[in-house]
Structure 1
């Protein structure tokens, strides 16, 4: 099984400009992501960026990076361009979020393992919802699965709707799952995904994966009990620093 991890990293960010280069206790965020990804069962880890500063920084700490177009509408498109530049075939390509410095190698490996089945097209992670805050947060998409643990639908609203119970007691009556935004794809499927037009469901929920489902692609899932902490704001940076301090 030959797998490549690609980390899309844009410089521009509305809430945190230059996010990949933010210092987290002596290392940049992108360096921490790269170091974590290198611990997984990946044959290669590459940063795909639109900015020369990020490219130079990654090369400076011994990482691998490629420069991609600045106008990609999504990280998926940036990952595909980077994969084409590499010129190296793979059984699966893992899209690793560049703003999750605490990503765990086991989470990446869980997705890679799903590609031992030749029928796997796309893979992603899910995690059990354990709090009311998680369940009702629109920033943490929820997902429902079919019998084969393939995603049926993703939503920013809690799904399914338990009509017979008050909403504040839903966690007592159903095992809800949230989506963790780590993806892996067959390269041939990844190419097809970049050619799809936005779908009405995707536009309604602002969730790219709904475009894939609407066009008939299958998304298999692996479950993790490991937490992830994306960094989008200065407050998130402070929380990450506190977590790093607790680890040392």
Structure 2
């Protein structure tokens, strides 16, 4: 099955304008932009036929082409990354069996997260969309709780049923637990990893649906699938010793740089 990875990137983020071009310093002291680090993460994924950056901004286009990425220009009307992926797939002439949306704010995404996600969708022929979830340890959960306490919108959490079909995604920390966890303690909370794999039919349908109240309230694009009766498959992935965090706010830059230093990532 042919696989296309699209990295959607927009300059006009309300929480962090210009985020794709934000510099992140690696373990060796070399600074690279967020979009370049996300592209480098995508290029490590096995079994992929093409990787493209999809944007509506000339500054991002110039930067991406400068480090060797293929760029697909999309319209300014795209409301989110999923709509941008749909436009990019159409612009490339379609024909891919699986389209992966590797959001441009997740430079720490290990290649096996994406490989496991694609395999999970291949193994579930009735599923139109799949997304990874990572069980939080105490450190990760406390990071999510600290963000919420400080009034920051941090990572997204997911709850799902026994068949791994999503029940809900939220920027609040769900499910609630009164337990106190620390260090490597395993918790009942799953961090949603901001990557999606779609079958083209599901992706094409998405842009035709109106934005629903849950998507509008949470600001989470995957809720549009659920609000229109389409199941979202959650594929559990393993950290294998890697730390994971998305760049959602300017305050996340030193956190991610510290993680890269700890993991000796250049």
Q: TM-score range by the shorter chain?
A: 0.7 to 0.9
Deviates more, 1:112-121 or 1:45-54: 112-121
| Cα contact 1:123–1:185 (8 A) shared by 2 | yes
2:178: which partner in 1? 168
Q: Which of residues 215, 220, 230 in structure 1 aligns to 2:233?
A: 220
Counterpart of 1:177 in 2: which secondary structure? strand
Counterpart of 2:178 in 1: which secondary structure? helix
1:130: which partner in 2? 137
2:45: which partner in 1? 40
CA distance in 2 between partners of 1:67 and 1:174 (Å): 41
Counterpart of 2:193 in 1: which secondary structure? strand
How far off its partner does 1:160 sit?
4.2
How far off its partner does 1:8 sit?
0.5
CA deviation vs aligned residue, 1:190-246 (integer Å, no higher than 9, x gap): 011111112222233332222211211111111123242212333322233333344
Aligned positions of 1:48-197 closer than 5 A: 48-116=54-122, 117-131=124-138, 132-133=141-142, 136=145, 137=148, 139-160=154-175, 167-169=177-179, 175-197=188-210
Q: Which of residues 243, 246, 253 in structure 2 aligns to 1:237?
A: 253
After TM superposition, the score normalised by the length of structure 2 is: 0.82
After TM superposition, the score normalised by the length of structure 1 is: 0.87
How far off its partner does 1:3 sit?
0.6
CA distance in 2 between partners of 1:231 and 1:90 (Å): 29
CA distance in 1 between partners of 2:192 and 2:130 (Å): 11
CA deviation vs aligned residue, 1:156-200 (integer Å, no higher than 9, x gap): 344445xxxxx4227699723232221110011001111111222
How far off its partner does 1:142 sit?
2.5
| Cα contact 1:134–1:140 (8 A) shared by 2 | no
CA pair 49-125 structure 1, distance change in 2 beyond 3 A: same
Counterpart of 1:176 in 2: which secondary structure? strand
| Cα contact 2:65–2:71 (8 A) shared by 1 | yes
Aligned length: 243
Q: 2:12 matched to 1:16? A: no
CA distance in 2 between partners of 1:174 and 1:231 (Å): 23
CA pair 244-134 structure 1, distance change in 2 beyond 3 A: closer
CA deviation vs aligned residue, 1:80-138 (integer Å, no higher than 9, x gap): 11111111411110001101111111011111102323212100011113235256446
CA pair 22-204 structure 1, distance change in 2 beyond 3 A: closer
2:27: which partner in 1? none
1:30: which partner in 2? 35
Counterpart of 2:179 in 1: which secondary structure? helix
